[in-house]
Structure 1
Amino acid sequence: MDAQDDALLAALPQRLHEIPRRWAAATPEAVAVSEGDVAWTWRELATAVDEGAALLRRLDVRPGDRVMIVGENCAAQVALIFAASQCDAWVVNVNARLSPREIDVIGAHSGARRALYTVAVSPDAAAHAARHEAERTTLPHFGEIAIGALNEHCTPEPVEADGACQVAALIYTTGTTGHPKGVMLTHRNLLFIAAVSSRMRRLLPPDRVYGVLPISHVYGLASVTLGTLYAGAAPSAN
């Protein structure tokens, strides 16, 4: 790495959820994320993250637990990713368009403490939620989501203060050559990719980015979504 990369690494925060905190303090009324005709400001995104973190704690999600989010790109999914970070839980983003077998294999392998389904924006997520008899609830910022049963057999992983050691996301491969394989990515992994991506694309806070790749894909998460937000720019979540 060169001196520029060293400086970039030194400037990285320790956790993903520090991204919305930073911009909510700097530009609270600027647009942070959009979904159709709805646009959240940084202040609203930060509030939604707090709301999501409070929900996870009420659902007995502990630091080091895995939280599976079954959905398609939406503002609620973005907020839940940061909410999991705020709770020091690992987020497991799963594309709702996967088959029931694929969803079930990932859920079992990850040992997720809870599964949440973005039923308000994804008919496929709603179908998976119904299949798993997930309970539906409505939150002020998220709208309607569904919550799976508590996995009492989930064992939390150790939590590290250093973002270079603490896992933020468990990303699964497509499983085209067998069962999907989980890849652990730390906060530092994702934040470094986000910072480099935002720099390479020369993104600025007034910019808007249309995100096509699913957030469940590592590039869609790290480079497109987090990279855009890291720069203070606004991704379109659908």
Structure 2
Amino acid sequence: MQTRIHDTLSAAVAAKPDALAMIDYADGKFTWSDLAEATAAAREVLLAQGVKPGDRVVMVFENCLAVCAFIFATSQLDAISVPLNARLTHAELDRLITHSDPSVVVFCNDASESAVIHGKAFSAKAAIGRYGTVGLFQRRGSQPEPCFEDGAEQVALLLYTSGTTGVPKAAMLTHNNLLCAAVASAKVRGMQDDDMTYLALPLSHIFGFVTFVSICGAQGAMRLEARFAVERLYKALQMDVTLLPAVPQMHALLFHYARAQKNPRYDVGLLRFVSSGGAPLDPVWKREAEAFYGIPLQNGYGLTEGTAGVCATASPLGDPDVSVGHPMQDSLFRLDFEAEGATPDEGIGEILVGGPQIMNGYFRDPEQSAKVLTEDGFFRTGDLGRFDDAGRLHIVGRSKELIIRSGFNVYPVEVEGALTDHPEVIMAGVVGRQVSGNEEVLAFVKVAADCSLSEADLSAFVKDKLAPYKRPTRIVLAQDLPAAPTGKILKAKLISTFADQLMPETTH
């Protein structure tokens, strides 16, 4: 019985040591034995750095062999992985490292110039092994977390869900959370050991991380991309890809690129499963995707605190349904009709999710954990939904203000904080707006009447404060913003109030 995520690697090595496991961003090919040897080398590095059970190991990276090896090595030591996207700014990264209190930070350099730059800022020491090249920064005084033999108690992963807001929140995901999520994901995709999955989703995001574990569990193979490049996806689809999990932006770029190649349809015939997650599904866009792929486009609903997917569709080709489908394996749902924003007469309530994929809480934050976890273990999502007569879940809105841009979570309060750091900005309100296959970030700021600040000035000001996907698509400057008597910005009125200044709508 598998009780740790590294058990998936052990099983794959035992079953098919010489089979292809991974093709990386540089077209390097690695077998399961190669991955096991890289993991063994990474484990020795961590031991030399003094990593103990319960320690956190931060990894700063873009997808590569090294991060896979260090994730499994960390699991073998009963330490806790903290994967962070190398594209974060130094200020963002420093805050999350401080909060997670790791004993060591690993900068995975081979696939990421950003990781190299961050490593230099921390005076990281180089280490070269079967995993490639990394930089190591050892921290003193880190306090280990308790360890448990039970995989349902032992935390394997910390994933941040609130970026770099004033109070970072890291979901504590156990080995059992991840293994159950991987099994559910593999079942939905019908994953087999001869599948090739295209994985450009970052392993620093729950969608990518669980996909990685599910591939290892199914003993298939993956094309692991450091960054999404539409040319590489297009080429891979012509060669061997059978499973394509992606966010809408990836699909949209692929359609545009294929048309430029005078190939408006995928006609290779190898692809048998394609899904879109991380953003709402537009029915017109869904029809376009299915016309391109020639197979159904499946939708789903997931969240970091629920270890990725908890709902998924199994729709036939041409089905107009744009729900997020039925609960995935062992996931439980109920609706709270007394929650803010609920409309019981329409069957709409806040979505609560239970089951073996629900996190153990937020890292060292019992107060926030208590706010979102019920006594019987359900997670309050903050999303509003309803079930139709067929038992399918429809997401109708968010009581939280989360923006999902290109599959990444953007929290308005973080962007607002960056904007209001400017001395000439009085107030700021940030909202999301749906565009084709994505959601854009719109910012509205209040400035004084004699202010000479421009949109370009503010865009430049936040550039070093926010990762690219968090930066506003547009920044509207005004002397007044719609507000309640208390002075609170009425965000629901921002787009309509400034509609003239936002035209024409742009896509990003």
Amino acid aligned to 1:30:
A
Match of 1:153 in 2: 141
Does the 8 A contact of 1:138 with 1:145 survive in 2?
A: yes
CA displacement at 1:180 relative to structure 2: 3.2
Amino acid in structure 1 at the alignment position of 2:161: T
The answer for the alignment partner of 1:228 in structure 2 is: 215
The partner residue of 1:167 within 123, 148, 155 is 155
1:135 to 111, 125, 136: 125
Give the superposition deviation at 1:177.
5.4
What are the equivalent positions in structure 2 for 1:86-235 lying under 5 Å apart? 86-139=76-129, 141-148=130-137, 150-175=138-163, 178-222=166-210, 224-235=211-222
Q: Which amino acid aligns with 1:155?
A: Q
CA contact (8 A) 2:58 2:82 kept: yes
Give the superposition deviation at 1:175: 2.2
Alignment length (residue pairs): 224
SS of corresponding position for 1:220: helix
The answer to whether the Cα contact below 8 Å between 1:229 and 1:235 also exists between their aligned partners in 2 is no
Three-state SS of the structure 2 residue aligned to 1:68 is: strand
What's 2:65 paired with? 75
* Matched-pair contact (CA < 8 Å) for 2:39–2:131: no
Q: Give the superposition deviation at 1:121.
A: 1.2
Q: How far 1:83 sits from its partner (Å)?
A: 0.5
Q: If the length of structure 1 is used for normalisation, what is the TM-score?
A: 0.91
The amino acid of 1:200's aligned partner reads V
Within 2, Cα distance between the matches of 1:228 and 1:142? 19
1:170-203, Cα deviation, whole Å (9 max, x unpaired) = 0012427544311100000011001110111011
Distance between the aligned counterparts of 1:89 and 1:237, measured in 2? 24
1:34/1:75 contact within 8 Å kept: no
Separation (CA, whole Å) in 1 of partners of 2:222 and 2:106: 22
In 2, are the aligned partners of 1:16 and 1:82 still within 8 Å (CA)? yes
Please state if 1:23 is matched with 2:50.
no
Counterpart among 42, 50, 67 of residue 52 in structure 1: 42
How many percent of aligned residue pairs carry the same amino acid?
38
**CA-atom RMSD, angstroms?**
1.2
Give the Cα separation in 1 of the matches to 2:200 and 2:10.
25
Which structure dedicates a bigger proportion of its chain to strand?
2
Letter of the 2:224 partner, please give it.
A
Counterparts of 1:80 and 1:28, CA distance in 2: 19
Runs of 4+ off more than 6 Å: none
Offset, 1:94: 0.2
Q: Take 1:221 and 1:94, find their aligned partners in 2: how far apart are those partners?
A: 12
Q: Name stretches of at least 5 consecutive residues in structure 2 with no aligned partner.
A: 226-508
Deviation at 1:92, TM superposition (A): 0.2
Superposition TM-score, scaled by structure 2 size: 0.43
User: Counterpart amino acid of 2:146?
Assistant: P
Deviations 1:130-179 (A, max 9, x none): 1111011211x11211001x222101111100101000000012427544
Give per-residue Cα distances to partners, 1:96-155, cap 9 Å, x unaligned.
00111110111000001000001121000001001111011211x11211001x222101
Give the aligned residue type for 1:67.
V
Please state whether the residue corresponding to 1:204 is helix, strand or coil.
coil
1:33 matches 2:22: yes
Give the number of the structure whose alpha-carbon radius of gyration is greater: 2
Equivalent pair of 2:9/2:32 in contact (CA under 8 Å):
yes
Which amino acid is 1:231 matched to? A
Which of structures 1 and 2 has the larger relative contact order (alpha carbons within 8 angstroms, sep 6+)?
A: 1
State the one-letter code of the partner of 2:147: V
SS in 1 for 2:135: strand
